[in-house]
């Protein structure tokens, strides 16, 4: 067990203490102490995760599921133990409802090409929202083009909140699946997923939830949400890159065909016929990222040791502070004013391109994201080509936000 796993959940999150667990945050950027405000893109890794991956390579690395020797058995045990950790973190019923994938993008593609191809046909509809990441748009577009189906899009209000009445009205007798973000990667909006699922299920429509932004920030219970599919990415959860998970109700997975073929996902193979393994193995073709799964499991232990309620509270308090500071700068326009949102602030500076804002901040040692954030339809909705985005993590403090605001003021002065 790691020291993080042994630590009891704290009554309040201490960001200074948490920050000490991230070696990369001790470095400088452009000669100044690093302020990392790009956690919505990818989160940094605590020492517990770094050590776990290194230890797996040093002590337990072998091909999983395929060896009868002790080392392989040990690697397999750790890999499957990580699946159980994901199950517990998401509140799923059983471990076989967890499919390991590369990331949330691959999880969504899996559903689109396996469930979608079997259930979406000519004239059918797929319902999305206007705040979706490209990962929850493009696979459905590709599916609709192939199957002769139609993509429908529920609008959002100026505040960045979903128009629930419009979403409900777009659910039709031809809707075969709805795919929605739990949290917008641009606006930080927390969608009322439980309500959306209830509306969809009342019409017999299954729901996929893109949880890439939600899972690192707020408590998630897929059974309470009632969703049919839930996708997460490990690298946003303070875990390794190249690992993620799809949660899907077992009865749905059992009715879905494999979407990739190869080793591990088979029961038997001949040149005449192949029979496939049960779930979740039939969706995990080839040698898996076992070390990534182990690292993800440790990352989830580490997050839960902080307490997800504490993580959410910390982000909310820091978000309020950051919003007040940026609102005090007349040239700044913040996008996304939902009543329920996470620690993501997307903004523009009057007369300054978002990339120039990002460059100025980089010179001040501050890492933010600038661009369309894989959400070009959302940029069009707000009539801007790009936004600057500061996204908070468990390691951020008020001093980081103070430096952000100071650097934005500097950008205003430079381009005045």
- Domain boundary pick from 250, 279, 304: 304
8 A C-beta contact, residue 45 and residue 242: no
Q: In terms of C-beta density within 10 A (0-12 exposed, 13-18 middle, 19 or more buried), how is residue 250 classed?
A: middle
pLDDT score for 66: 81
CATH code assigned at 63: 3.40.640.10
For residues 338 and 229, membership in a common domain is answered with no
Helix (H, G, I), strand (E, B) or coil at 162: strand
The answer, yes or no, to whether residue 7 has pLDDT greater than 60, is no
pLDDT at 189 over 60: yes
* pLDDT over 80 (residue 11): no
pLDDT number for residue 416: 82
Per DSSP, what are the bridge partners of residue 387?
A: 371
pLDDT confidence of residue 4: 37
Domain limits for position 372: 9-38+307-414
- Do residues 221 and 90 lie in contact, with contact meaning Cβ atoms separated by under 8 Å? yes
DSSP state of 189: B
Same domain, 29 and 120: no
Give the mean pLDDT of the chain: 96
pLDDT at 67 over 60: yes
pLDDT at 22: 98
Tell me what percent of the residues of the chain surpass a pLDDT of 90. Answer: 95
Angle between helices 290-306 and 47-55 in degrees, nearest 10: 150
Q: Are residues 190 and 243 in the same domain?
A: yes
Burial 306-323 (b: 16+ CB within 10 A, else e): bbbebbbebbbebbeebb
- Give residue 263's pLDDT: 93
Reported as a pLDDT band with limits 50, 70 and 90, residue 8 is very low
Does residue 106 fall inside a structural domain? yes
The whole-number pLDDT of residue 13 equals 86
Query: Could you tell me if 295 and 319 lie in one domain?
Result: no
Number of H helices, E strands in the chain: 16, 17
Number of domains in the chain: 2
Q: Which residues have a catalytic role annotated?
A: 374
Any domain includes 46: no
Q: Looking at the whole model, is its pTM more than 0.75?
A: yes
Closest listed residue to residue 238, CA positions, set 300, 289, 184: 300
Q: pLDDT tens digit string along 283-334?
A: 999 999 999 999 999 999 999 999 999 999 999 999 999 999 999 999 999 9
CATH number of the domain encompassing residue 355 = 3.90.1150.10
pLDDT at position 6 is 34
């Amino acid at each position: 067990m790691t020291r993080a796993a042994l630590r009891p959940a704290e009554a309040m999150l201490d960001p200074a203490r948490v920050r000490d667990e991230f070696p990369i945050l001790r470095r400088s950027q452009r000669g100044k102490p690093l302020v990392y405000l790009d956690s919505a893109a990818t989160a940094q890794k605590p020492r517990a995760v770094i050590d776990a991956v290194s230890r797996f390579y040093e002590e337990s690395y072998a091909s999983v599921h395929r060896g009868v020797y002790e080392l392989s058995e040990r690697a397999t045990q750790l890999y499957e133990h990580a699946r159980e950790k994901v199950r517990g973190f998401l509140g799923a019923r059983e471990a076989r409802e967890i499919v390991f994938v590369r990331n949330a993008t691959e999880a969504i593609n899996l559903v689109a090409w396996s469930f979608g191809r079997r259930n979406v046909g000519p004239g059918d509809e797929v319902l999305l929202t206007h705040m979706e990441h490209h990962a929850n748009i493009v696979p459905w577009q590709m599916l609709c083009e192939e199957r002769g189906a139609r993509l429908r899009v529920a609008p959002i209000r100026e505040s960045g909140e979903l128009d629930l009445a419009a979403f409900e009205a777009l659910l039709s007798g031809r809707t075969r699946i709805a795919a929605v973000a739990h949290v917008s990667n641009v606006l930080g909006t927390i969608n009322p997923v439980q309500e959306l699922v209830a509306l969809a299920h009342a019409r017999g429509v299954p729901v996929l939830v893109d949880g890439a932004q939600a899972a690192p920030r707020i408590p998630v219970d897929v059974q309470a949400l009632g969703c049919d599919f839930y996708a997460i990415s490990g690298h946003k959860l303070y875990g390794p890159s190249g690992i993620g998970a799809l949660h899907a109700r077992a009865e749905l997975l059992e009715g879905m065909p494999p979407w990739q073929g190869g080793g591990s996902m088979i029961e038997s193979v001949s040149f005449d016929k192949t029979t496939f393994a049960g779930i979740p193995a039939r969706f995990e073709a080839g040698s898996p990222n076992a070390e990534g799964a182990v690292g993800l499991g440790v990352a989830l232990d580490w997050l839960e040791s902080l307490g997800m309620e504490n993580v959410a509270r910390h982000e909310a308090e820091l978000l309020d502070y950051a919003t007040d500071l940026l609102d005090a700068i007349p040239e700044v326009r913040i996008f996304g004013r939902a009543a329920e949102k996470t620690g993501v602030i997307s903004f523009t500076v009057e007369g300054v391109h978002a990339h120039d804002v990002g460059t100025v901040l980089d010179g001040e040692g501050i890492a933010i994201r600038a661009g369309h954030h894989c959400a070009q339809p959302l940029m069009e909705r707000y009539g801007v080509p790009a936004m600057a985005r500061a996204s908070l993590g468990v390691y951020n403090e008020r001093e980081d936000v103070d430096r952000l605001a100071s650097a934005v003021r500097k950008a205003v002065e430079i381009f005045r």
